[in-house]
Amino acid sequence: MDESGGSGRPQSDGAEDLRPHGTDGSQEPARPVDTAREPTRPADAAGGPGRPADPADAPARPRQDGADTPPADPRGPEGPPPHPEPRPRTSFTKAPPEEPPAEPRRPRAASGGPTGKGGPVPPKAQKGPGGGLLMGRPFGVPVYVAPSWFLVAALITWVFGDQLDRVLPELGGARYLVSLFFAVAFYASVLVHELAHTVAALRFKLPVRRIQLQFFGGVSEIEKESETPGREFVLAFVGPLLSLVLAGVFYAGMQAVEPGTVPGVLLAGLMISNLIVAVFNLLPGLPLDGGRMLRAVVWKITGKPMSGTVAAAWVGRALAISVLIGLPLLNQSGALGGDAQDIGGMDTVTDALLAAILAAIIWTGAGNSLRMARLREHLPELRARTLTRRAVPVETDTPLSEALRRANDAGARALVVVDADGDPMSVVREAAIVSVPQHRRPWVSVGGLAQDITEGMRISAELAGEELLDTLRATPATEYLVVEESGEIYGVLSAADVERAFVKAMARPS
């Protein structure tokens, strides 16, 4: 029972701000449907509502002898009455799209690869279940290779091949085959890095949607946030840790082979690349793994995950600026192990371009982390109980005009078709109601406009936040039947209402 002492069903004014918009974009409350001019037959012996006669069965003019032929529609050939009253607008004034509205995407946490393209992904940026070429399902998690990876593999093959030409000139054209093997082995190391995040997430019972290898590394799409800062720290740290372990393994392999040979050069390159991956990911800024570790520390100190996200995101933005300015300067000075370069050469342009790409990835990831943190902060406001429309039960053969009259009298905005025992069978779709012209509604039954209620379309009124979004995502539909724990009908939840509330929550400042 609700606080007002009523029957526990949603009140007619509980979702005024979420009612369908009029054609001018303004919001308006439900208004009654005028059924005064809709011809109906006398009520049957059972006392139910009279079913209107279809005008196709009636002559063009009404008979004058008082026979039981149904009267003609006053809007027929005789024309409207001399002074017709204006027809009030119904609450179903705007037809929703025929397809189900875009479903609010649930937030995902993502652990980044070598360049830190991780962090939570905003709803609009999320991709479908694919995302490239499926390579396998280790631990039951699909691994995809994005098309952009092939571009990077070609770039690595070309750059590493030129380096091999200086170290092993006797290879000739075969150096590019060796370089291609190095590119594949390097991304296999990145996959191990991401699998470390995945295994830790599964150990903490956090679902992992997929792993994707892409342009500058990889990403593990973890579908829920860690429950504690300690788990968040471990989940972020295991990736760089595995990269350090791989660097040590490749270093040990170097000791077992002759230097200056193909195996020696490959092992040296893999050792250095994994060391760079580990160090880069340990930098303390989102969306890098080090940023998630910093977030966990601030979360532990303050007790607020949002504070940790804000701190780590702003450090990530400062890191992006540092990479943009500092990486080209370090390369030109030879501080990263190469020869000093003259400013203005082709190498300078390449370094600047690489720095700009890395900085853009880090800056964007930090911004995404802030947006997703704000989303999670507002997610609890999405409650099925407050978004549900009040509904009236009708039988399957009830004329649509009569059903709408009952709904408007009760201040309801949805219709549920029930059987003789009052058990719900289907939900009348709003799009189907709007598609029926006014003059046809007396001769159309609600049963032909309803969608059968499947198990996934029956949801609890207690659902809220991410759990509510997960439930709707599992069974896409335009309307859902909302029930109390006792099984009593609470109302109908429209996916369009949830989407509008989702957008409003994202628009509000934290």
The Cα–Cα gap between 15 and 58 comes to: 42
C-alpha distances in angstroms, 219 versus 67, 108, 112, 120, 296? 77, 11, 5, 10, 19
Q: How confident is the model at residue 132 (pLDDT cuts 50, 70, 90)?
A: confident
Q: Rounded to a whole number, what is the distance in angstroms from the first to the last CA of the chain?
A: 32
H or E segment at 479? Answer: strand 479-483
- pLDDT for position 214: 86
C-alpha distances in angstroms, 171 versus 164, 174, 179, 262, 270? 8, 5, 11, 9, 19
- pLDDT for position 382: 86
- pLDDT for position 315: 94
What digits encode the pLDDT tens for the residues 47-66? 344 444 444 444 443 333 33
Q: Residues 6 or more apart from 437 whose CB is under 8 A from it? A: none
Average pLDDT, the chain: 76
C-alpha distances in angstroms, 455 versus 52, 426, 448, 460, 480? 34, 11, 20, 11, 10
Amino acid of residue 493: L
Amino acid of residue 449: L
In eight-state DSSP terms, residue 505 is H
* Cβ neighbour number for residue 425 with a 10 Å cutoff: 16
Percent of the chain having pLDDT more than 70?
Answer: 71
- pLDDT for position 345: 54
Q: How confident is the model at residue 231 (pLDDT cuts 50, 70, 90)?
A: very high
What digits encode the pLDDT tens for the residues 161-185? 888 888 888 888 888 999 999 999 9
462-467: average pLDDT: 88
Residue 507 tokens read as: 């628009």
b/e for 307-339, b at 16 or more Cβ within 10 A? ebbbbbbebbbebbeebbeebbeebbeeeeeee
Give the three-state DSSP class for 20. coil
Cβ atoms 73, 189 nearer than 8 A: no
- pLDDT for position 228: 94
Report the half-sphere exposure of 448 (CA within 13 A, side-chain side).
10
* Cβ neighbour number for residue 264 with a 10 Å cutoff: 18
- pLDDT for position 353: 84
- pLDDT for position 34: 40
- pLDDT for position 94: 37
- pLDDT for position 88: 36
Name which of 139, 114, 360 is nearest 219 in CA terms. 114
Q: How confident is the model at residue 337 (pLDDT cuts 50, 70, 90)?
A: low
In eight-state DSSP terms, residue 460 is E
Q: How confident is the model at residue 242 (pLDDT cuts 50, 70, 90)?
A: very high
b/e for 468-491, b at 16 or more Cβ within 10 A? bbebbeeeebbbbbbbeeeeebbb
Q: Which of 13-22, 98-107, 234-243, 298-307 has the lowest mean pLDDT?
A: 13-22
Residue predicted with more confidence, 71 or 435: 435
Only one residue has tokens 């490749």, namely 250
DSSP H helical segments within 145-228, as ranges? Answer: 147-167, 175-203
The Cα–Cα gap between 474 and 201 comes to: 21
Only one residue has tokens 């790409």, namely 357
What digits encode the pLDDT tens for the residues 403-451? 999 999 999 999 999 998 889 999 999 999 999 999 999 999 999 999 9
Q: How confident is the model at residue 187 (pLDDT cuts 50, 70, 90)?
A: very high
Amino acid of residue 14: G
Cβ atoms 161, 175 nearer than 8 A: yes
What digits encode the pLDDT tens for the residues 74-120? 334 334 343 333 333 334 433 333 344 444 444 444 445 443 433 33
- pLDDT for position 344: 53
